[in-house]
Amino acid sequence: MSKILSMKELVPTIYEAVVEAPEIARKAKAGEFLVVMPDEKGERVPLTIADFDREKGTITIVFMTIGTSTYKLAAMKAGDSYYAFVGPLGHASEIKNYGTVVMVAGGVGTAPIYPIARELKKAGNKVISIQGARTKELLFWEDKLAGVSDEHIITTDDGTFGRKGLVTEPLKEICEREKVAVVYAIGPIPMMKFCTFTTKPFGVKTIVSLNSIMIDATGMCGGCRVNVGNETKFTCIDGPEFDGHQVDWNLLTSRQKIYLAEEKCSLEKYVEEAKK
């Protein structure tokens, strides 16, 4: 049982929880993930670590309400405890001095990209961040990300803040402008996919963090399988980070939809019960 120390809605539909988890905080590294269960019956929700504080023994998670389990997580308050809070899982990001790195965050992807950007900055890299959101009111952690970046660009789809347009536009300009060693792209699947399409002509290594559907998160069930470089990989034990230029995006996109009907039905049932 891990206790929630603080809980807040950062922006509509996106929540931040700071959780007491000294054992996990002691070992946590940027890029790793956790499995969180709101209650005994909830599904296992994989969440990439958004922040950790070894001294305070805390882990920060940020999630968006999408289905029943994330709605259950959002309904929990400071003082409540998660039924399960397991981690750190997966491989950590490879942190070293690459030179210039570009961190591209889409929507809730800002949270997992932050600790990676922070560690890359500490390792001596020039960090350029591009943070994208649909609209101004969905932007969060701009100051945190800017604080670990040499250059910080914001884009919104509707132009309500920063540059109007998609993250791929400044990404292309930066690749044209200077030598980029590595790009990290974390966010919705289409955004990561188009970031890899943007960097491919420049030959810039592009790492993505995949959020494929997980069940056991131990490499046993095969639920999280993805195809990378024509090989089957398990996101939970081989990832979550992969070379984006090698990912079979069509397969990933179709696999993300396989439980849509069940997810919709579960959410409708949860909403009905919550009204009673």
Residues touching ligand FES: how many (CB under 6 A)?
12
Determine phi and psi for 129, rounding to 5 degrees: -110, 140
Single out the segment in contact with ligand FES by CB under 6 A; choices: 107-115, 150-158, 216-224, 249-257. Answer: 216-224
Q: Look at residue 196 and give its three-state secondary structure.
A: helix
Nearest alpha carbon to residue 175 among 102, 67, 70: 102
Q: Kindly compute the dihedral angle of the four CA atoms of residues 241, 216, 79, 12, in this order, to the nearest 10 degrees.
A: 50
What is the nearest approach in angstroms of ligand FES to the Cβ of residue 73?
Answer: 19
Single out the segment in contact with ligand FES by CB under 6 A; choices: 23-31, 81-89, 195-203, 218-226. Answer: 218-226
CB 73 within 8 Å of CB 85: no
CB neighbours of residue 180 within 10 Å? 23
Q: Rule CB under 6 A: is residue 224 a binding residue for ligand FES?
A: yes
The Cα-based distances of 20 to 116, 186, 218, 234 in angstroms read 21, 26, 23, 29
CB 174 within 8 Å of CB 149: no
Single out the segment in contact with ligand FES by CB under 6 A; choices: 10-18, 105-113, 141-149, 208-216. Answer: 208-216
What is the nearest approach in angstroms of ligand FES to the Cβ of residue 46?
Answer: 8
Q: Rule CB under 6 A: is residue 221 a binding residue for ligand FES?
A: yes
Measured from the CB atom, the residue of 214 and 247 that comes closer to ligand FES is: 214
Interface with ligand FES (CB under 6 A), residue from 173, 219, 258, 260: 219
Kind of pairing, strands 58-64 and 14-20?
Answer: antiparallel
Distance in angstroms (rounded) separating the CA atoms of residues 6 and 19: 7
What is the nearest approach in angstroms of ligand FES to the Cβ of residue 232?
Answer: 10
Amino acid, single-letter form, for residue 134: R
Measured from the CB atom, the residue of 90 and 170 that comes closer to ligand FES is: 90
Q: Rule CB under 6 A: is residue 222 a binding residue for ligand FES?
A: yes
Query: Using CB under 6 A, which residues numbered 231 to 270 contact ligand FES?
Result: 234, 236
Q: Rule CB under 6 A: is residue 214 a binding residue for ligand FES?
A: yes
What is the nearest approach in angstroms of ligand FES to the Cβ of residue 273?
Answer: 27
CB 86 within 8 Å of CB 73: no
Interface with ligand FES (CB under 6 A), residue from 216, 243, 262, 268: 216
Q: Rule CB under 6 A: is residue 217 a binding residue for ligand FES?
A: yes
The residues binding ligand FES (CB under 6 A) are 214-217, 219-224, 234, 236
